[in-house]
């Protein structure tokens, strides 16, 4: 028989029952009863951030690196509204998260009370689901349901808004087993007939390609293992979105690299020229597709996704398969083996010969400078000096994010944390804190631009307080790099407000927080600076001054198809046509 307890105690008990180990939050008047209960227990760790947006991004980093839902606790009004950017980011990138917000007492709702906001109304468009709990008796069951919704099907953020009087009142606690989860049961098994059609297409395709996304990683480690087995057994080339990096190893023999706007030449041309595209857990984002009517124009398209709303939303697919990626890949692999492990070997051989010819372009090649650090060089050295370590990489958003994706290799899933769909500047630093909390002994590096990093620099206080040795690797070009690049290429070199001014001394800033600061501007000193950053046992800011006007290539100009790429090293006017590179 369950006993009566206050709503605040219910919250903590429900979190314990869900296996929650850490909560990221910031207290305020409307959640003080919950914080009082947190104070009186020791099973759940609370990490005090410096801003509610930081709490949500930290929970995202925790969730992305562990596969477990992140948990956030913030107060009403500005506490909740400050969290909206992070919640939207989590929705776009399918990150499982439970956000608990305080609310004014039920009898004050609608009165414009102090620190009141319509949290449920504000967050309805940016959550999978949200609840305003007006009855203490339903609070524990609602929290259990929230965890189910956040993690079942396509993962995402949910929010539970809890008025203060509900936290004080008492009622019987409902255990997890009594939660109403039956009303949300997404389809997880794929249609066998459609899977059979896809296997038949794999057996005959001459130019197939796997196009994989974050859904493979969200499905869990089994999905990544099945993907690797299927790709290696069939010999089909594989590429990935920004969010899918690590599902297939960067050292794998069938790996083409990332595709999309700043993807690799061979990956984009393979997507453009394939006759069978197998989309596994990706959503046909516009940064991947380019111009829709010219996207992979001659291919039959299969799409495996657990979210029915993603099927045929952007690109029409010939073989839609709704189900959990791991389940579908398992059935595909089993069926393909049972049918005799057949592929079109002659066609694949010709296809690989074409791809190998494209690889000769060496689209990521660059010439290091002896006078100034080129950002590509910085990323290449970071990769060389950290490869093989127990390493997690986060990024902010901008050019540095794309260079990190291009030059850093990921052998395993859940090692790469970045803001893909929303493109949130300020994401990486707090995300790295969440990753370090989850993996205290690992090397956690946030690759940043100076402008993005400044947006949540206050979280250095969190890193210091909790002795989290996160490494902030800032590619400092004193510019809003991606904005400046677009202005150069697309807006007649009119650099409207894209040059950073009044930047801080990052070394002094680090020292002011009690962290270590390092500055490097000479290519000859770069390796030593990276080694010093890695060796230090506390938080570090490495201010790496790089070439100010370097552009990030390859690049598909906005609205262009995959076979029209700018390569850039020789000229920003290198255009990629059907068969190869042509200087125009």
Q: Tell me which residues are annotated as active site.
A: 52, 114-115, 164, 482
| Structure-token pair, residue 307 | 């979210």
Residue 409: how many other CB atoms lie within 10 Å: 15
CB atoms within 10 A of CB 231: 23
Residue whose C-alpha is closest to residue 71's, from 146, 176, 168: 146
Secondary structure E strands in 113-269? 129-132, 157-163, 170-172, 208-212, 238-240, 255-258
Give the DSSP letter of residue 174: P
Contact (CB, 8 A) for 53 and 182: no
Torsional sign, CA 421, 250, 282, 225: negative
DSSP class of 211: E
> C-alpha 346: how far from its chain's center?
38
* Strand, helix or coil for residue 135: coil
Residue 21: partners with Cβ closer than 8 Å, 6 or more residues away:
44, 45
Nearest to 260 by CA among 251, 249, 271, 250: 271
- Write out the H or E segment, with its range, that includes residue 300: strand 300-305
Q: Where are the beta strands (DSSP E) in 104-203?
A: 129-132, 157-163, 170-172
Backbone angles phi, psi at 470, to 5 degrees: -70, 140
C-alpha closest to that of 56 among 31, 93, 29: 93
Whether the Cβ atoms of residue 59 and residue 47 lie closer than 8 Å to each other:
no
| Tokens representing residue 82 in the block | 């400050």
Separation CA 86–CA 366 (nearest Å) = 35
Count CB atoms within 10 A of the CB of residue 494. 8
Q: Could you please report the per-residue DSSP string of 401-459? A: HHHHHHH----STT-EE---SS--TT-HHHHHHHHHHH-TTSEEEEEEEHHHHHTTGGG
Pair 209, 278: CB distance under 8 Å: yes
Residue the block writes with tokens 């909390």 = 437
| Residue 373 β-bridge partners | 546
**What count of other Cβ atoms lies within 10 Å of the Cβ of residue 156?**
25
DSSP 8-class letter at 568: -
Contacts of 167 by beta carbon, 8 Å cutoff, 6+ apart: 6, 7, 8, 11, 31, 33, 34, 102
């Amino acid at each position: 028989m369950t006993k009566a307890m206050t709503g605040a105690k219910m919250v903590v008990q429900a979190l314990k029952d869900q296996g929650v180990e850490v909560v990221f939050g910031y207290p305020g008047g409307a959640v003080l009863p919950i914080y009082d209960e947190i104070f009186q227990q020791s099973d759940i760790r609370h990490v005090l951030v410096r801003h509610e947006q930081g709490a949500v991004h930290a929970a995202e980093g925790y969730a992305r690196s562990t596969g477990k839902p992140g948990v956030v606790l913030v107060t009403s009004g500005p506490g909740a509204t400050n969290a909206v950017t992070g919640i939207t980011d989590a929705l776009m990138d399918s990150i499982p998260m439970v956000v608990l917000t305080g609310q004014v007492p039920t009898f004050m709702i609608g009165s414009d009370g102090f620190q009141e906001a319509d949290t449920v109304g504000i967050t309805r468009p940016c959550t999978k689901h949200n609840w305003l709990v007006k009855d203490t008796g339903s609070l524990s069951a609602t929290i259990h349901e929230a965890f189910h919704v956040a993690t079942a099907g396509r993962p995402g953020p949910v929010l539970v808004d809890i008025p203060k009087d509900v936290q004080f009142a008492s009622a019987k606690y409902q255990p997890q087993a009594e939660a109403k989860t039956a009303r949300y049961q997404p389809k997880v098994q794929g249609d066998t007939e459609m899977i059979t059609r896809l296997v038949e297409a794999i057996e005959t395709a001459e130019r197939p390609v796997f196009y994989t996304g974050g859904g493979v990683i969200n499905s869990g480690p089994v999905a990544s293992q099945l993907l690797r087995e299927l790709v290696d057994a069939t010999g089909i080339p594989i590429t990935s979105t920004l969010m899918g990096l690590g599902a297939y190893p960067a050292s794998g023999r069938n790996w083409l690299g990332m595709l999309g706007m700043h993807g690799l030449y061979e990956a984009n041309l393979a997507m453009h020229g394939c006759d069978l595209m197998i989309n596994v857990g990706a959503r046909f984002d516009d940064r991947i597709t380019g111009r829709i009517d010219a996207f992979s124009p001659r291919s039959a398209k299969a799409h495996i996704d657990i979210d029915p709303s993603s099927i045929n939303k952007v690109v029409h697919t010939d073989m839609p398969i709704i189900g959990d990626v791991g389940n579908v890949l398992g059935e595909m692999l089993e069926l393909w083996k049972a049918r005799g492990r057949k592929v079109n070997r002659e066609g694949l051989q010709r296809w690989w010969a074409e791809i190998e010819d494209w690889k000769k372009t060496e689209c990521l090649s660059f010439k290091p400078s002896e006078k100034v650090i080129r950002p590509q060089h910085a990323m290449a050295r970071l990769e060389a000096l950290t490869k093989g370590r127990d390493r997690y990489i986060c990024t902010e958003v901008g050019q540095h994010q794309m260079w990190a994706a291009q030059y850093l290799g990921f052998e395993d899933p859940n090692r790469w944390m970045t803001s893909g769909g929303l493109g949130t500047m300020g994401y990486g630093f707090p995300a790295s804190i969440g990753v370090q909390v989850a993996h205290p002994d690992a090397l956690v590096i946030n690759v940043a631009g100076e402008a993005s990093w400044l947006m949540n620099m206050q979280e250095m206080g969190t890193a210091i307080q909790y002795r989290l040795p996160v490494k902030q690797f800032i590619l400092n070009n004193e510019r809003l790099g991606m904005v400046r690049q677009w202005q150069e290429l697309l807006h007649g070199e009119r650099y409207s407000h894209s040059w950073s001014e009044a930047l801080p001394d990052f070394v002094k800033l680090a020292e002011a927080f009690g962290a270590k600061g390092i500055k490097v501007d000479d290519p000859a000193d770069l390796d030593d600076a990276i080694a010093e950053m890695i060796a230090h046992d506390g938080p570090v800011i490495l201010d790496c001054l790089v070439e100010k006007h370097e552009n990030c290539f390859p690049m598909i100009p906005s609205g262009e198809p995959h076979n029209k790429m700018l390569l850039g090293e020789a000229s920003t006017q290198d255009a990629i046509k059907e068969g190869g590179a042509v200087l125009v």
